[in-house]
Structure 1
Amino acid sequence: MINCIVIDDEPLAVRLLESHISKIAELNLVATATNALEAYRILQTQEVDLLFLDIHMPDLNGIEFLRSLNKRPPTIFTTAYREFAIDGFELEAVDYLLKPITFERFFKSADRILRQVQKENEDGFMIFKSDGFNRKLLLKDILYFESMGNDIKVVLRDEIMLIPKISVAELAARLQDNGFLRIHRSFIVNRNLVTAVSHHEALIGKISIPVGRSFREAFDNFARLFSAKRLF
């Protein structure tokens, strides 16, 4: 999950970005700010992975605000003014979106961030205890997890193993920032390995995994993103 904030003094622009962000399951809007001082306070108290930053704001504009940060999160500028594009890219902005921002343009920009995060996670791993051994599992090799009473079945590309004495909820919390999605009370899937989706199920190759009613909203957000990637 990528935690992001919107910094913009225009309420309509904020609402539009809130709507766009809500359609992408991997983006989590943690706060909004109408000026640089509010944004400073948020950054001091929240873990923020991505800024959607307007340029024309009172007191301190977006360019000045970003320059003032010692640690700069990846930033996507959102503005109605083309003339600041060079300044934005000199600050190594991820992208520069001109208002009004369509969802198609927003998605292309967000997808750039998601691909970067996915690449960083490709070599990620977790350590699980199984059969008396602490085992290192590469996350990219895990297809899905399934609850088996008090144990968890881990289905990998080339084997199946059991993790004892761990709940699905606990496992989902450990995996939420690593490309996995809980879609049923008994199942957690590797989002990067899902090959097809419908309203009621996700496919990983020929394996069908049901979608639980309580997890429908999160899955529908993922399904929209999944489908959008195949339209562009």
Structure 2
Amino acid sequence: MIKAIALDDEPLALEILQSLCAEVEYIDLQKTFTKSDEAFKYLKKYPVDLLFLDINMPSISGLDFYKKLPHKTMVIFTTAYSEFAVEGFTLSATDYLLKPISFSRFQQAAEKALQHWKTQNQNLEQQYLFIRADYSLIKILFSDILYIEGLDDYLKIHIQNQKTVVARMTLKVLLQKLPSTEFIRVHRSFIIPISKIEKIRNKMIHIHEAEIPISTSYEAAFFEILNQK
């Protein structure tokens, strides 16, 4: 469910937004505001996913209000003036709705917000994984992994500033759990995170104090990915 609030100096415009949001099952419009200072205080204390924001307000423009926000929030600008559209999109707005807002146009903007929200949450979910080892489920951040070493049906996950985790699992199975844009297999016994490579010399990858060989069968794919970075 997308958590949202709306800010508009016109109460009628807020009523219309409330009725539009009520027709979309995945948007939870939690509060509405006619005063920008009250909305700003609320957002500092209760961050939301989406902000419906009028541009032409007496105390502060919606564009300036959005620039002041302390954290990243999706925004759908609403206004009766089309000349603000270009500047709205330069602020990476999710969409721009021209008043009066039809339901079909609102639904289109809501769908954009939903897709963006799903992408954001998917990325958050992909920051770690759980590995069963030592009779426990151990949470390992992708960003902490130095490299992974395979030993038959076991593997060692070498972790920055932490004890190495030994788990009963194959490299093939683990590779499917890792983000393909960040991790690559370079040898039948090694998976590495591309971001941790310090240097490559004589077909040896240097990560921290380890030297990891690049095997002939993985060499072409490895260097092709490096050239794309």
TM-score normalised by the chain length of structure 2: 0.52
Q: CA deviation at 1:54?
A: 0.2
Task: Provide, for residues 16-54 of structure 1, a one-character-per-residue CA deviation record: whole Å limited to 9, x for no partner.
Answer: 100111122211111111121111111122121110000
Q: Percent identity between the aligned chains?
A: 43
Confirm or deny: 8 A CA contact 2:74 2:93 kept in the other structure: yes
Confirm or deny: 8 A CA contact 1:56 1:62 kept in the other structure: yes
Please state if 1:62 is matched with 2:62. Answer: yes
CA distance in 2, matches of 1:67, 1:119: 23
Partner of 1:13 in structure 2? 13
SS across alignment from 2:29: strand
Q: Which letter maps to 2:73?
A: P
Q: CA deviation at 1:116?
A: 2.1
Partner of 1:90 in structure 2? 90
Partner of 2:189 in structure 1? none
Count of paired positions: 134
CA distance in 2, matches of 1:90, 1:121: 23
SS across alignment from 2:70: coil
CA distance in 2, matches of 1:6, 1:87: 20
Q: Which letter maps to 1:90?
A: T
Greater relative contact order (Cα < 8 A, sep 6+):
1
Partner of 1:146 in structure 2? none
Please state if 1:47 is matched with 2:47. Answer: yes
Task: Provide, for residues 144-169 of structure 1, a one-character-per-residue CA deviation record: whole Å limited to 9, x for no partner.
Answer: xxxxxxxxxxxxxxxxxxxxxxxxxx
Partner of 2:104 in structure 1? 104
CA distance in 1, matches of 2:136, 2:9: 54
Confirm or deny: 8 A CA contact 1:36 1:60 kept in the other structure: yes
TM-score normalised by the chain length of structure 1: 0.52
CA distance in 2, matches of 1:117, 1:44: 20
Task: Provide, for residues 91-148 of structure 1, a one-character-per-residue CA deviation record: whole Å limited to 9, x for no partner.
Answer: 1111110000011100110101111222344574897x9xx97599xxxxxxxxxxxx
SS across alignment from 1:30: strand
Partner of 1:114 in structure 2? 114
Q: Which letter maps to 1:97?
A: L
Task: Provide, for residues 44-81 of structure 1, a one-character-per-residue CA deviation record: whole Å limited to 9, x for no partner.
Answer: 22121110000111211111111222324111000000
CA distance in 2, matches of 1:90, 1:35: 24
SS across alignment from 1:70: coil
List alignment gaps of at least 5 residues for structure 1: 137-232
Bigger Rg, which one: 2
Q: What's the Cα RMSD here?
A: 2.4
